Amino acid sequence: MAGSLALDLERRYRGGAVVRAELEVPLEPAGVTVLFGPSGSGKTTILRCVAGLERPDAGAVRFADEVWSDAGSGRWVPPQRRRVGFLHQEPALFPHRTVRGNVAFGLRRVPRAERAERVEELLRRFGLSALAERRPGALSGGERQRVAVARALAPWPRLLLLDEPLSALDAPTREELRLELRRHLVAAGVPSLLVTHDRTEAMVLGDRIAVVVDGGIRQVGAVEEVFSRPADPEVARAVGVETVVAARVRERREGLLVLETHGRRLVALDPGVPGEEVLACIRAEEVVLRLTEPVAESARNHLPGTVSMIRREGPLERIILDCGFELAALVTPEARRELGLEPGRSVVAVVKAPAVHCIPRSAPPG
Amino acid sequence: MDAQALWLSVRLAAATTGALIVLGMPLAYWLGRSTRRWKVLVEAVVALPLVLPPTVLGFYVLVAVSPRSPIGRWYEALTGSRLPFTFGGLLVASVLYSLPFAVQPMAVAFGQVERRLLEASWTLGEGRLGTFARTVAPLALPGIVTGAVLAFAHTLGEFGVVLMVGGNIPGETRTVSISIYDHVQALDYAAAGETAALLLAVSFLVLAITYGLQRRAWAVWPGR
């Protein structure tokens, strides 16, 4: 399936709120695009317009070579014929049907044998076989959300839309389901659009991220790129000021993780398994800059680099270093003057191991 | 006891209930789920029979279906028979009279089905009719059953409307409540008491069974 999902829409609400979205999501390769932004920024509206559950007041939604909605020509494809999977915030399971009945719901027109086979396959894949005859009322929150994902994937959707799929769960379950969901989304190979306001969720689940602020899409790009290089202060505020860089776990040593990224080594404290891909996050406030390599110091990470950019940020200044990857540091103007920080200046960034926070991107193999 | 009158009442109640399921369900669905502002006017019209004296309703139905009215003329041209003082006329009046008893519980039940369940059904490829049949109707079943049973029981016991529109023709319009009235007029208290007791028992049984069934229905759908 080639092409892309292209949105250029506007939805106006009584009371004056307007949501605008211009976004193109490639369908090949089938990745997860995260719509990320604070609550009330219009992410859910955009998702519902793509599903056909809401009608844009202006603009169009195109999927590959189909026009799903076009306010100009009045063209409208109802949700039934878009063949998308949609996941609500709260899993909207049919309470009068069993787990099996829920998963089979969208397969009514599929021949009986094939339907049974598909349902069994999904129950197995989602670890629901033992619960197949239970009704939703007798399931835990995590189990319900698994059923909802399995049900949405059953009729071979061309696009999967997820509206804060983990937000209704308690924290431990959310943690547990996050990686599992990522694995399912990758295994299903269905292009997905996922709404969330949770940074970790965005980083774990997303391949691409579109930042939504005040009813509009401000920046689109790879997850690490958007988190490390927000396009403007509002995006920076939405994503949080942090360096995010893809890394691989090289080894575990004395309870610490040694990561490798862009030819540099980073020592972190988080749990992890060698060989695993992670995103290493370093808050700009926790980066200390000095002019010379220390002889001996407690901090484990010394990263020599050159200053590439300086930007004023409130009372502080944001220094972007090039040390194999882009690393942001927040310093006071006084410190900048003392160190004589200018673009091109060589410095050493010092980061303690516990300040390097690792987010696993995919489940460990096996 | 007047077996002929009892049988007629049961037939009338059954026909009325059937008509109300067919006609009342779409109306109830619209009332339960529509967000239009002028919906309240329709709600008020549907509820009118609750407060209107049966004689007033019966009077208007009688005038509306008389051979001189457009509806009466149209019906006569179509079927060759007239509505006043016939079973057909009685059925029309009963449907109107029992409308709120059927429609209100159904509308409440339809309105309580969560919107996201409908949306889930739509995105899973099910059209509006399929969504109604597979999701809304099963979830609203207790309300639908309640509406049907109330309509049945209410029709079984109606008196004023029947007298106005149907009169008192044995086998055609003489229902069980009118037969009780006749017995009392004739000072035949024994026969009146027998029929009244039977009506009381039947009404009680029907309601008790319905509520009992509903309790079971809820118990097998926990977590709603």
- According to DSSP, the β-strands at A256-261 and A242-253 are antiparallel
- With beta carbons less than 8 A apart as the criterion, state whether B58 and B165 touch: yes
Q: Are A209 and A346 in the same domain? A: no
Nearest to A102 by CA among A131, A127, A80: A131
Residue numbers in B near A108 (CB within 8 A):
125-126, 130
Calpha distance B168→B148 (Å, rounded): 26
Q: Are A52 and A105 in the same domain? A: yes
Q: Are A152 and A284 in the same domain? A: no
Calpha distance A32→A184 (Å, rounded): 11
Any domain includes A105? yes
Q: Are A167 and A247 in the same domain? A: no
Nearest to B62 by CA among B160, B131, B128, B133: B160
Residue B153: alpha-carbon gap to chain centroid: 8
Q: Are A197 and A311 in the same domain? A: no
Q: Are A95 and A183 in the same domain? A: yes
Any domain includes A132? yes
Number of C-beta neighbours around residue B153 at 10 A: 21
* Angle value at C-alpha A280, between A278 and A282, nearest 5 degrees: 165
Contact A92 B116 (CB under 8 A): yes
Query: What is the average pLDDT score of chain B?
Result: 88
The minimal CB distance from A92 to the residues B114, B125, B221 is found for: B114
Residue numbers in B near A137 (CB within 8 A):
221-224
- With beta carbons less than 8 A apart as the criterion, state whether B130 and B84 touch: no
Please report the DSSP string for B24-65 in residue order. HHHHHHHHHH---TTHHHHHHHHHHHHHS-HHHHHHHHHHHH
Contact A88 B116 (CB under 8 A): yes
Give ipTM to 2 decimals. 0.80
Any domain includes A178? yes
Give the residue ranges of DSSP H helices in A196-258.
199-205, 223-228, 233-239
Q: Which domain holds residue A347?
A: 243-288+296-360
Contact A90 B223 (CB under 8 A): no
Q: Are A136 and A278 in the same domain? A: no
Task: Name, in order, each residue with C-beta under 8 angstroms of B208's C-beta and a sequence gap of 6 or more.
Answer: none
* pLDDT (tens digit per residue) in B94-124: 999 999 999 999 999 999 999 999 999 999 9
Number of C-beta neighbours around residue B105 at 10 A: 22
Task: Name, in order, each residue with C-beta under 8 angstroms of B99's C-beta and a sequence gap of 6 or more.
Answer: B20, B24, B46, B49
- With beta carbons less than 8 A apart as the criterion, state whether A213 and A35 touch: no
Contact B126 A106 (CB under 8 A): yes
Nearest to B120 by CA among B135, B110, B106, B105: B135
Contact B124 A90 (CB under 8 A): no
Residues of A with a Cβ under 8 Å from any B Cβ are 51-53, 78-86, 88, 90, 92-96, 105-106, 108-109, 135-138, 151-152, 155
CATH code of the domain in which A318 resides: 2.40.50.100
Q: Are A148 and A200 in the same domain? A: yes
Any domain includes A366? no
- With beta carbons less than 8 A apart as the criterion, state whether A94 and B119 touch: no
Q: Are A150 and A224 in the same domain? A: yes
Q: What is the pLDDT along chain A (366 residues), one digit of tens a residue?
A: 468 999 999 999 888 888 888 888 888 888 999 999 888 788 999 999 999 999 999 999 999 999 999 998 999 999 999 999 999 998 899 999 999 999 999 999 999 999 999 999 999 999 999 999 999 999 999 999 999 999 999 999 999 999 999 988 998 888 889 989 999 999 999 999 999 988 888 888 999 999 988 888 888 988 878 887 777 767 877 877 678 888 889 988 888 889 998 888 889 887 778 888 888 888 888 899 988 887 788 888 999 999 998 888 778 888 999 988 889 898 999 999 998 899 999 999 999 988 888 877 764 333
* Angle value at C-alpha A37, between A203 and A260, nearest 5 degrees: 20
Q: Are A25 and A90 in the same domain? A: yes
Residue to mutate among A50, A54, A88, with most B CBs inside 10 A, is A88
Which domains, from first to last, does chain B contain? 3-215 (1.10.3720.10)
Question: How far B104 CA lies from chain A's nearest CA (Å)?
Answer: 23
Contact A106 B125 (CB under 8 A): yes
* pLDDT (tens digit per residue) in A110-141: 999 999 999 999 999 999 999 999 999 999 99
Residue A289: alpha-carbon gap to chain centroid: 30
Q: Are A68 and A180 in the same domain? A: yes
The residue among A239, A264, A279 that closes a domain is: A239
Task: Name, in order, each residue with C-beta under 8 angstroms of B59's C-beta and a sequence gap of 6 or more.
Answer: B164
Contact B120 A135 (CB under 8 A): no
Any domain includes A254? yes
Per DSSP, what are the bridge partners of residue A359?
A: A279
The pLDDT assigned to A200 comes to 84
The pLDDT assigned to A366 comes to 33
Calpha distance A227→A249 (Å, rounded): 20
Residue numbers in A near B122 (CB within 8 A):
52-53, 78-80
Residue count of chain A: 366
* pLDDT (tens digit per residue) in A139-169: 999 999 999 999 999 999 999 999 999 988 9
Contact B222 A86 (CB under 8 A): no
CATH code of the domain in which A87 resides: 3.40.50.300
Q: How many domains does chain A have?
A: 2
Helical (H) or strand (E) element with A248: strand A242-253
Q: Are A255 and A138 in the same domain? A: no
Range of weakest confidence among A223-232, A322-331, B11-20, B31-40: A223-232
Any domain includes A365? no
